[in-house]
Amino acid sequence: MVSVSEVAPPQARGHYDGLVRADGRVHRTLFTDSDIFKHEMLKIFGGSWVFLLHEAEIPAVHDFKTITVGRRPVIVSRNEDGSIVALLNRCPHRGSMVCSLERGNAARFQCPYHGWTFLNNGELYGVPYRKGYGPAFDKRKRGLGRFPRLETYRGFVFGSLNPGVEALTEWLGPAREIFDWCIDQENLGPRGVSVVKGMTMVYRGNWKLQNDNNGDMYHAPVTHRSTAEMNLARHGTGKTLDHFKSDNNPMLAKYFGHGHKLLDQRPSIDSPWERARPLPGREVMGDAVVQRLGEAAARAYLDLTGRSGINLVLYPNLMMMGHGTFAVYEPLAVDCTNVRYYTALINDAPPEVNTLRIRFSEDFNNVAARDDNEIFERIQTALEDVPEMPWLDFSKGLDTDRERVGEDGAVTGNISDETGIRGSYAWWKTLMQRDFTPQALGVEADEGRSR
């Protein structure tokens, strides 16, 4: 079998040490070089755990959803026995994408070109005019490639094409505690959550710009100044972003290892409900919940309709926003990225609470996230066009007394420090230089180049 490193771009081996430096500088080619991008799709999106979907997105037997994993078209399907598999959406015959629907319910998939049919666990089921194939034709090796590793962690489904990838809990490491906290927030009733699709944005910029940004509080008062000023002028103090005016505060930036990072604004957010911008229907729906449940119980629910103050980035592609909304980064090209938002609805919550959660999820996206996208596009353009200035600087917090290493190995910095982002780039380098043999079950192994 050909290992991924053999098909990597020639300049890649040992090359990355010079591009991600210990002094916090990162080279512009990480954002602009399409060979590096292709290599990332192999080594990061092909070699690490990658978030696929929440299992509530495919609740019933035979439900499926199509996604991309490092550009590869993938079908995530729930089988007859309730288990979930991730399949490469590429016909083993002559390469057509097999399923073109975004989601649906199907026990089998039929390729639209010559009609090979596959069970939704990936196995080849039927081949038209089968007699035309000789005795060497092995049906068991002509299935849809299946991810060799797939694990569901409390509803969140992760997959990997690297059979030797570390155990999922090891990969989560000390980030697990805060990931649990986010999930516990929604675990109010026994019937769990449903997931609704939120907005999807596309920007002309590298995927890491969004990943960096979700571990960056430094930018908030400047990039989102319009939001802060509008809120202040229209709704007075105490609303979104009003809690961050200087970096002399108890909030934290954190790096957990394995690329995972956190902004923890919880120490400065007393009540998400009080702090939330006035959403459409807030008063009427809030009152209805209070009337039905009483003040205390209602408040517990209503606090789930605003920002809890968590930005947790699980590397490379999942961001938990801590109010039931999560984002998935989907790289399309070195300079093009989708960001897909989803919101978890609490099945046992009063309907008003879920509606307000949806209204809240729209709010930040509509108002503030657009400014982030604008900045990403400006960065992308300037990085591409200014070779005389090759470096980006992520050194904030380095060599100061603001950063400390905890017993669990996590590094904590001030909320405005680039602690987490620097950690992610160190991990990026580790992944890009890690050797492994990619594998997809059910397909002929190693007949030629795996690229």
**Where does this chain bind ligand FES (CB under 6 A)?**
91, 93-96, 111, 113-116
Q: How far apart are CA 385 and CA 371, in angstroms?
A: 21
Q: How far apart are CA 83 and CA 236, in angstroms?
A: 50
CB 72 within 8 A of CB 29: no
Residue 229 site contact among ligand FES, another protein, Fe ion, none (CB < 5 to 8 Å, cut-off depends on kind): another protein
Candidate list 218, 326, 341, 436; residue touching another protein; CB under 8 A = 341
Shortest spacing between CB 311 and another protein, in angstroms = 19
- In 3D space, the residue among 65, 62, 55, 56 whose CA is nearest the CA of residue 81 turns out to be 62
Should residue 223 be labelled a site residue for another protein when binding is judged by CB under 8 A? yes
- Chain CA centroid to CA 214, Å: 11
Q: How far apart are CA 395 and CA 46, in angstroms?
A: 29
Instruction: State which amino acid sits at residue 219.
Output: H
Candidate list 117, 187, 355, 395; residue touching another protein; CB under 8 A = 355
Query: Binding string, 245-284, against another protein, x = CB under 8 A?
Result: --------------------------------xxxxxxxx
Helix or strand run (H / E) with residue 208: helix 207-213
User: How many CB atoms within 10 Å of residue 33?
Assistant: 19
Residue 116 site contact among ligand FES, Fe ion, another protein, none (CB < 5 to 8 Å, cut-off depends on kind): ligand FES
Candidate list 97, 168, 230, 290; residue touching another protein; CB under 8 A = 230
Specify the residue, 183 or 368, whose C-beta has the smaller distance to another protein.
368
Shortest spacing between CB 363 and another protein, in angstroms = 8
Should residue 372 be labelled a site residue for Fe ion when binding is judged by CB under 5 A? yes
Residue 293 site contact among Fe ion, ligand FES, another protein, none (CB < 5 to 8 Å, cut-off depends on kind): none
DSSP 40-104: HHHHTTTTS-EEEEEGGGS-STTEEEEEEETTEEEEEEE-TTS-EEEEE-S-TTT---S---SEE
Shortest spacing between CB 340 and another protein, in angstroms = 8
Candidate list 374, 408, 446, 447; residue touching another protein; CB under 8 A = 374
H-only helix segments in 333-417: 351-364, 370-385
Specify the residue, 20 or 124, whose C-beta has the smaller distance to ligand FES.
124
Shortest spacing between CB 225 and Fe ion, in angstroms = 11
Q: Is the peptide bond preceding residue 316 cis, with omega within 30 degrees of 0? A: yes
Residue 183 site contact among ligand FES, another protein, Fe ion, none (CB < 5 to 8 Å, cut-off depends on kind): none
Specify the residue, 108 or 378, whose C-beta has the smaller distance to ligand FES.
108
Shortest spacing between CB 79 and another protein, in angstroms = 27
- The span from the first CA to the last CA of the chain, in angstroms, equals 12
Q: How far apart are CA 175 and CA 264, in angstroms?
A: 12
Residues that bind Fe ion (CB under 5 A): 372
Binding site for another protein (CB under 8 A): 196-203, 223, 225-227, 229-230, 233-234, 277-284, 338, 340-341, 343, 345, 351, 354-355, 358-359, 361-363, 366-367, 370-371, 373-375
